Amino acid sequence: MKPDDTLFRREAARLLATLTRAFGVENLALAEDVVQETLAKAFEAWSYNGVPPHYSALLARAAKNRALDIFRRERTARKFAPDVRRLIESEWTLRPALDAMFLPDALKDDELRMMFTCCHPRLGEDVQVALVLHLLCALGVDEIASAFLVSPAAMEKRLSRGKKLLADSGHLFELTAADFLPRLSAVHRALYLLFSEGYHGASALAVVREDLCWDAMRLVRLLVDHAPAATPATYALAALMWLLAARLPARIDDAGNLKDLFEQDRSLWDEELLAEGTRLLEQSASGEVLTEYHVEAGIAGMHATAGNAHETRWGDIVELYDVLMRIRPSPVVALNRCMAIAQHQGPAKGLEAVRGIEGASRLAAYPFYPAVLGELELRRGRTEAARGHFEEARRLARNDGERRFLDHRIEGCARKALS
Amino acid sequence: MNEFVFLWRRPQRPPKTPQQMQETMEKYLAWFKDMEARGHLAQFGQPLEPKTGRVVKDKGGNFSDGPYAETKDIVMGYSLIAAKDFDEAVALTKGHPIFDEGGVIEIRPILKL
């Protein structure tokens, strides 16, 4: 996994989860203030000779002491939930209660609780993902807005809508609740979307986007480590993320150019991540429910074990895409299926499949729709048609990486036409 | 070699997000590391509590809060830097991250007889 350049974010998320439990979710804003203050102090102190070895414990203690002060000061002035109020009534209960809350194991459960709370069924998936990024990955409004290519004002609105609903709901999700499993599915979905945004997203900054992938992996790891949440679907989702993340080093070359699966130098794929992904994939193979994560991880696993595009078992991959289309059909999945068909049976069959995609109008703004058409036409030797599609894709491209990628394709067509 | 106190003066406004805090901190650390490597770091010094301070006014112990409350560039800490002369001390501040935060550096030589 990546080194510690997200230390402040990780600690902020941990503290926020615990402080929110201490103060009650209706006092989320207060918890956020305390986190900000605690970290600001640490920032001042550590800017001299670095982060001390026991930083996590130091931060927890500092946050706990702030919480103690606040409880003493605002015991009566502020509205606390009944169970919190009982604990803070006297010094005899306050101190031990807070000590227990800030133990390392408790901290971990708090993050899980927060994660499940963010995926409240009354919130749209876009709001859930934004909340996960804000509350569990401690990304600022502007940072999230830039990752999703929306204005900071719009993201602010999305987040405050979500936070208001959480505050109004009056309590954090309990990990022993009867609706644990349905909520777990929502969590899977949110983490999947978070990872995908990092992997395929529109933001121009590769660094911002990779961070989203690592964040999603950190959170799915929390699920894997918490027995009731470690279902086959959780393992499958984790496997998918690890197997895809292994390809990250090969996706962008030294010149900053995007490389598709066929052009990637597979020797750059991260072997440790691949091995862990494969292990997770094996662990996912139990139970009776086949989820979309199983299928997608299965596809990623086939690519991982193939030495190159020619050695890949495309027929099997087409079959997996067929299954995926039954479980969770989408135009993007359909498009990927067409590419696999083209690999398996040739570009003409691939094109035929593209034309047969239902709901292709939903792909109208998706640059890789015309890009796939271009790719397949090019393989058939119809350079002029291919070039038209690539130019269309170039118009739809969402960032410089994509534009450069398509410029190369257009140039390639021009060269072919001349020769 | 002479020693200079560097007073770190800047608005009491930490970076907004945890990520920005981390990135800014790393820039500060990089500067210290560079000073250390080049033999200019006499002492790291200390950060100072930003929001409180007292100015004692007389023998009776009367004091007022501050004086920092309204000051834009309050002293957020100090470090001790070794340099040949003022010119070198000033040159060493080049690229220091405090300027990106709207801060300034006050340099005071340690008095010598």
d(CA A384, CA A142): 42
**Model-wide pTM > 0.95:** no
**Cβ–Cβ < 8 Å for A342, A377:** no
* Listed range (A347-351, B52-56, B74-78) with the worst mean pLDDT: B52-56
**Cβ–Cβ < 8 Å for A405, A370:** no
Phi, psi of B54 (to 5 degrees): -135, 140
Chain B residues near residue A45 by CB distance under 8 angstroms: 47
Q: What is the pLDDT of residue A1?
A: 43
Residue of B103, B79, B107 whose CA lies nearest to B14 = B103
Residue B31 pLDDT more than 90? yes
Q: What is the pLDDT of residue A3?
A: 44
Taken as a whole, chain A contains a residue count of 419
Give residue B11's pLDDT band: very low, low, confident or very high (50, 70, 90): confident
Unique residue bearing structure tokens 């699966």: A261
**Cβ–Cβ < 8 Å for A244, A199:** yes
The distance of B5 to chain A (nearest Cα, Å) reads 15
Instruction: State whether residue B80 sits within 8 Å of chain A by CB.
Output: no
Q: What is the pLDDT of residue A229?
A: 95
Q: Which 3 state secondary structure label does DSSP give A53?
A: coil
Q: What is the pLDDT of residue A393?
A: 94
Q: Do B17 and A139 touch (CB under 8 A)?
A: yes
Burial A67-76 (b: 16+ CB within 10 A, else e): bbebbeeeee
Instruction: State whether residue A12 sits within 8 Å of chain B by CB.
Output: yes
Please, what are the averages of pLDDT over each run of 10 residues along chain A (419 residues)? 75 95 93 96 92 94 94 84 81 88 85 96 94 94 84 95 93 92 95 90 68 93 94 98 93 78 88 96 92 96 88 94 93 91 94 89 86 93 94 90 89 84
**Cβ pairs bridging A and B (under 8 Å):** 66
A 88-147: CB under 8 A from B? 138-140, 142-143
The distance of A138 to chain B (nearest Cα, Å) reads 7
* pLDDT tens digits, one per residue of A247-299: 988 888 777 777 888 888 899 999 999 999 999 999 999 888 899 999 999 99
* pLDDT tens digits, one per residue of A170-199: 889 999 999 999 999 999 999 999 999 888
Residue of A217, A214, A213, A226 whose CA lies nearest to A184 = A226
Tell me the H-state helices in A55-135: 55-74, 82-88, 91-101, 104-118, 125-131
B 20-49: CB under 8 A from A? 20-22, 24-26, 28-29, 32, 44-47
Q: What is the pLDDT of residue A415?
A: 87
Q: What is the pLDDT averaged over residues B44-58? A: 88
Return the H-helix or E-strand segment holding A123: none
Instruction: State whether residue A8 sits within 8 Å of chain B by CB.
Output: yes
**Cβ–Cβ < 8 Å for A397, A367:** yes
Express the helix, strand and coil content of chain B in percent, nearest 5 each: 30, 35, 40
Q: What is the pLDDT of residue A205?
A: 64
